[in-house]
């Protein structure tokens, strides 16, 4: 669209007055897009003053924000990192309470999760040396730099804790016998190191998303860590319910229910309390994933409470929680991408902040 056609001749121009914006904000996207495409728009309003509908278009019809180039491996990276963090927390609890089967299962899950997470991250970077290059500096103001170091601290600790579970397979004498005797204390120490890093691992990706310009992610910066943290606990509990015997799965069930509650409440707030940015979570692609995620998470939590005496119900509930956690990350990811493709997610909040006398950049 040429500058003259855009009315103001600037990127992201919103044609209309403040009253128009307020009305469009109330009517939502559907109303906003019923505009006349450059001719000034049709008229809205009943008995009161009739106001032309706003027409949200940007310079030459190009999006104001560049959509993320990330693909499916990034939401997969978000999920597997959370799974690893939740599993390590549960493994530490199992170690303290003497639940050996639960500890072995969750330490193994943590290793698989962090291995997959690292793979997805490197796959997105394109070349492994880029991951190494990020370790050459420490920038506390960069979520990516901090996250890389969290991965680098957590990964070896989770790996050592999981490897210690193989100690009984070693011979009792010789050098390997010495390794067998040291594996227990070393594994315990590594398990605690992994558990100490796990909360940061499970939630730093929320900061990573919120630090971008994508309106849906940025405006949810106070709630996304709770969504991701709750999701991590639910998935870690799901692993415990899926892999540990019923007699040892009690902590896993409790952690899964608590995590599911936090995740569902935080998700609800994200979908309803962010003003216009909440609408991005109701776009087709994220809405389908988030609804499926919520249904699976509720089903998994109910199964965790009611299926305490059934191995099958416990396993199915754990699987539902894992699937729900994965869909949550994919739904949140899709919402952020969707919010970069519609100019109104940028224009309307900016003008509202200007009207309130606040900085344009929140």
In this predicted structure, what is the pLDDT of residue 23? Answer: 47
How far CA 158 is from CA of 92, 114, 155, 196, 269, in Å, comes to: 11, 8, 5, 11, 33
CA distance 30 to 44: 13
Q: Are 235 and 318 in contact (CB under 8 A)?
A: no
In this predicted structure, what is the pLDDT of residue 54? Answer: 61
pLDDT of 315 over the 70 cut: yes
Q: What is the pTM of this model?
A: 0.81
| Higher local confidence (pLDDT), 15 or 325 | 325
| Higher local confidence (pLDDT), 136 or 104 | 104
In this predicted structure, what is the pLDDT of residue 37? Answer: 38
Region class of 53: left (phi > 0), else alpha (psi between -120 and 50), else beta: beta
In this predicted structure, what is the pLDDT of residue 352? Answer: 84
pLDDT tens per residue, range 186-229? 999 999 999 999 999 999 999 999 999 999 999 999 999 999 99
DSSP 110-159: HHHHHHHHHHHHHHHHSSHHHHHHHTT---TT-HHHHHHHHHHHHHHHHH
Helices 143-164 and 73-97 pack at an angle, to 10 degrees, of 50
| Higher local confidence (pLDDT), 118 or 49 | 118
In this predicted structure, what is the pLDDT of residue 48? Answer: 57
Confidence of residue 62 (pLDDT cuts 50, 70, 90): confident
Please, what are the domains in the chain?
A: 72-356 (1.20.1630.10)
| Helix (H), strand (E) at residue 176 | helix 174-210
- What number of other Cβ atoms are within 10 A of residue 192's Cβ? 17
How far CA 146 is from CA of 111, 193, 200, 336, in Å, comes to: 20, 17, 10, 22
- What number of other Cβ atoms are within 10 A of residue 91's Cβ? 32
CA distance 84 to 62: 40
pLDDT of 27 over the 50 cut: no
CA distance 281 to 332: 7
pLDDT tens per residue, range 222-241? 999 999 999 999 999 999 99
CA distance 150 to 208: 13
> Closest Cα partner for 241 from 325, 328, 176?
325
CA distance 31 to 53: 8
- What number of other Cβ atoms are within 10 A of residue 73's Cβ? 17
CA distance 62 to 108: 47
pLDDT of 11 over the 50 cut: no
């Amino acid at each position: 669209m040429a500058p003259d056609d855009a009315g103001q001749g600037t990127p992201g121009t919103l044609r209309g007055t403040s009253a128009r914006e307020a009305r469009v904000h109330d009517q939502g996207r559907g109303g906003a897009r019923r505009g006349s495409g450059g001719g000034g728009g049709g008229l809205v309003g009943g008995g009161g003053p009739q106001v032309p509908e706003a027409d949200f278009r940007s310079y030459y019809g190009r999006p104001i924000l560049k959509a993320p180039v990330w693909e499916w491996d990034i939401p997969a990276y978000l999920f597997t990192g959370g799974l690893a963090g939740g599993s390590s927390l549960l493994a530490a609890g199992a170690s303290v309470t003497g639940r050996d089967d639960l500890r072995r299962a969750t330490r193994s899950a943590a290793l698989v999760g962090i291995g997959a997470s690292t793979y997805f991250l490197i796959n997105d970077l394109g070349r492994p040396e880029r991951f190494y290059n990020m370790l050459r500096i420490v920038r506390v103001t960069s979520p990516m730099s901090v996250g890389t170091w969290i991965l680098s601290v957590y990964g070896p600790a989770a790996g050592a804790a999981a490897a210690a579970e193989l100690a009984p397979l070693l011979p009792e004498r010789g050098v390997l016998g010495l390794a067998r005797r040291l594996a227990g204390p070393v594994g315990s120490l590594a398990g605690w190191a992994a558990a100490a890093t796990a909360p940061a691992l499970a939630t730093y990706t929320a900061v990573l998303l919120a630090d971008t310009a994508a309106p849906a992610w940025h405006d949810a910066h106070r709630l996304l860590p709770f969504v991701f943290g709750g999701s991590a606990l639910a998935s870690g509990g799901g692993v415990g319910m899926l892999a540990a015997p019923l007699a040892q799965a009690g902590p896993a069930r409790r952690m899964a229910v608590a995590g599911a509650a936090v995740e569902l409440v935080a998700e609800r707030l994200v979908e309803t309390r962010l003003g216009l940015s909440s609408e991005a979570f109701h776009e087709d692609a994220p809405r389908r994933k988030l609804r499926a995620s919520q249904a699976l998470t509720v089903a998994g939590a109910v199964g965790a409470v009611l299926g305490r005496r059934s191995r099958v119900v416990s396993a199915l509930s754990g699987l539902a929680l894992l699937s729900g956690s994965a869909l949550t990350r994919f739904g949140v990811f899709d919402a952020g991408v969707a919010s970069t493709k519609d100019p109104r997610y940028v224009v309307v909040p900016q003008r509202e902040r200007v009207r309130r006398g606040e900085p344009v950049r929140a």
